[in-house]
Structure formats: structure tokens, C-alpha cells
Amino acid sequence: MDRLVIQGGHPLRGRIRVSGAKNAALPCLAAALLTPEPVVLSNLPAVADIRTMVKVLQALGTEASLASEGEGFELTATLACAGSEDPKAPYDLVKTMRASILVLGPLLARFGKATVSLPGGCAIGARPVNLHLEALERMGAVIEISHGYIHASVKGRLKAIDHTFEKVSVGATENILMAAALAEGTTVLRNAALEPEIGDLAQLLVEMGAQIEGIGTGTLTIVGAARLHGCEHAVIADRIEAGTYLCAVAAACGDVVLDRCEPEHLRSLLDLLERTGCVITEREGQDGRQLRIQRECGQKLRSKDVTTLPFPGFPTDLQAQVMAVMTQACGISVINEGIFENRFQHAMELERLGANLRTDGHTAIVAGPADLTGCTVMATDLRASAALVIAGLVAQGETIVDRIYHLDRGYAGLEKKLQGVGARIERVGGGKV
């Protein structure tokens, strides 16, 4: 099993190119089920979750090919879904990735039936699929759950609804948005999630021929089409990957430019890091927007409190990374996890490295700055893995991060990108994504 070996205490200097957003790419891949015509998606991150989703689509009757872009950190997928007589997303693929539930809406909308295994993914708390199922049932679907599978069918086309989500849900918004694109009539989705990845999916659907109003707002209006067509689409940059590298520089110090990112997608993190004392500059680059972060070695960080909230609030997917930063800040930081109830599993591993913190329910209290020293730690989920890497970049001596298959689900070439800006980090174990 692969692991990362990190020699800490070295500042980061140079440039990093941000890959495409995993959380945008996955629903965009699922959207290819909505048409028999070819859909070409570029700027997909070369991570395990993308390859898994492509395998799910192939199991559902999609012809799919993947080609590497540039340095191999991005992929282009060419997809054409003829469909199958019995569309089924099997457990052996779905168990590793929660986003596979996103095939349910498109399959029902286009083929009128679907069998999808209840999903897996990171063990960061309950993420029930009831919000997806309730909306699809309102659209006319008959749904039964048995033996770990969702069995769904509809007579004719799904019907448009005026629906208010009980709570903000990214996955449910994406699933029902795709289903509505082929539903009969005009669907209105209220209390829809605002994440940029949803806007990217909506833009893809528009390019496929869908009529959608309210993109980027909490109310989406979708006029269902009888048929969608193929297109070419480049997914947006990964704000979580960009945020992870920003946190790495904030913790380990240095001067790094991030190429191809969107500052507005990271505003809550940028504001936080500036208040800790980091200097952040936004500018136009040859390949999109750039961010430069500077923290001089020896410069003290100021502690700040954080509460995770749905976008545009502070993202839960950056909570662990910010906790690693706050171990190096002067004072007390209070971190409230407002999204998931089990997302402090990295805290114990940070303590092994020397962090001074404690957790109580949804709250973590971090006292800093702490003198971190290297040891062996174990990754428990995707973003926890990133937090441990950041802590390892700070810690004196050698840090070994085990179980990095979690990391490989969401970061393309993380150790290589960090090597490019001066980090002493290497992968050992011989495995490959």
C-alpha cells in the first residue's frame, strides 16, 4: 500500500497549476447519460474517482475513452451512451464513491428505469439520499430499496415539479437538475445549493440544449426538453485543490503562484488567510485567473475562528486543511463543523504530530503555535489526508502518511506538484492510481 514520506521544515516557492474540479467533473460525467450523442469533457482531474465514475458509466452502456492532457494531471473523456436493457450501477463500483448516486436522475429521465447500489465514500457522517428520492417520487418515479439497491422506474417521462428542498443539498440539487432537463414541463427547484460545481453542471446542460434560468442562485427553473444533444465542455478549476495548496503555504511559509483558479470560488478562505497575516494577490494569467500567496518564514500567523457552511460560506472540504494551518497560528482558534457530524477524524492524527487541540461534538479548539514533529499518521478520509500532508510539511523530521488511497480519490499528482515548489515529499510503495 502506498504512503507519502515527508521531510518537513522547507518553505514552498514556485508555481502550481490547479487541475479541474473533481466535484464538478463527476456530475458532468453523469450528465452524459442524458444523450446518445458524444459528450467530450476536458480538464478532468486524473484521480481515482473519475476513473471509477467512467467505469460506472461503462457498466450502464456507455462507450467511454480517457486521454491524458498536458503533464498527465488532467484527462479528457469522450462518452457516448447508447444505454442498456437493464441499467444497473453495481455495488463493487459504487461502494467507493458516493457521487455514483448521481446516475439515478439521468437514467430515470432518459430510460425510465434504474437500479443503483446505495453509495459509499468517505466515512465523514450521514449523507442520506432521501432528498434525491423524495423529489424523484414527486416527479412520478416509483422507488423501492431492497438488498442494498435503489430500484426506480417511471411510466413515460418524468413530470415537472415545483419543489423546495428540505435542506440545502449539493448532490440532490445536481441529481434533480439533470432529471428535470428531460422531464415533461417546467421544473422549479427552490432552496437549491449554490456551489460553483452546480453552476458548471448547469452550464454543461445548457450546452447540451437544456433551458435553465437562475444559474448561480437558490432557485433554478428548468424547461424540460424531449432530447438533448452532445457537446464539448471544460470543467472548472478545483477550488478545494487550490485551497489545499493555499493552506500548505500558509502553514509551511513561502511564496507560491496558483495558475488557473477562480478567486470568487474561494472568497471565504482568501478572507480568512488574509486575516491570519498571509498576503494574497489576485491577477489575470495566460491561462485564466491566478492567485499568489506569500508568508515570510518567521512571520507569525494570527489565530482565527472558522465555521463551515454551505457555499458561499466556508467549505467543509477545507476544514481539515485549515485546522492544520491553525496549529501554527498564535492564540486559540475555534473551528465549528456545521455540515457533517463526523469530520474531526484527522484531529487525533494531528495530535500525534504535536498539535495542541481538543474536540467536543461539532467543535474543535486549537491552541498554537505548536512545535510539530514527524511521526507515522493514518489518513481516514480524503480531506483529512490533505491536512496530514500539510502538517507533515511543517513538522520537523520525517512524517509518513499511510492509507493515501483516500488522497488519490481527489488530488491529481499532489506530491509531484508539491515537489515542484520545493517540498521534500515522495510516494513509496510502488502503487499507482
- The answer for residues whose C-beta is within 8 angstroms of residue 85's C-beta and 6 or more apart is none
Q: Is 130 exposed, middle or buried (0-12, 13-18, 19+ CB in 10 A)?
A: exposed
Distance (Å, whole) CA 237 – CA 197: 9
Task: Give me the amino acid identity at 57.
Answer: L
Please compute Rg for the chain using Cα positions: 21
Q: Per this entry, what is the length of the chain? A: 433
- Rounded (to 5) percent helix, strand, coil in the chain: 35, 30, 35
Give me the sign of the Cα torsion angle 261, 43, 103, 109.
Answer: positive
**Could you tell me which residues are beta bridge partners of residue 373?**
396
Cell of residue 22, nine digits: 473533481
Beta bridge partners of 413: none
CA distances from 423 to 42, 110, 230, 327, 419 (A): 29, 48, 42, 19, 5
- 192 and 170 Cβ atoms separated by less than 8 Å: no
* Helix pair 130-138, 170-181: axis angle to 10 deg: 30
122, 231, 247, 261: which one is catalytic? 122
Alpha-carbon distance of 176 to 382, in angstroms, equals 26
247 labelled catalytic? no
Identify whether the C-beta of residue 77 lies closer than 8 Å to the C-beta of residue 231: no
Place of cell 511521526: 375
Q: Which residue pairs from 48-52 have beta carbons closer than 8 angstroms and sit at least 24 positions apart in sequence?
A: 48/96, 48/405, 48/408, 48/409, 48/433, 49/22, 49/97, 49/99, 49/409, 49/410, 50/22, 50/25, 50/26, 50/75, 50/77, 51/433, 52/93, 52/96, 52/97, 52/100
3-state secondary structure 243-277: HHHHHHHHHHCEEEEEECCCHHHHHHHHHHHHHHC
- Grid coordinates given for 376: 507515522
Residue 204: which of 236, 172, 176, 159 has the closest Cα?
236
* Residues identified as active-site: 122
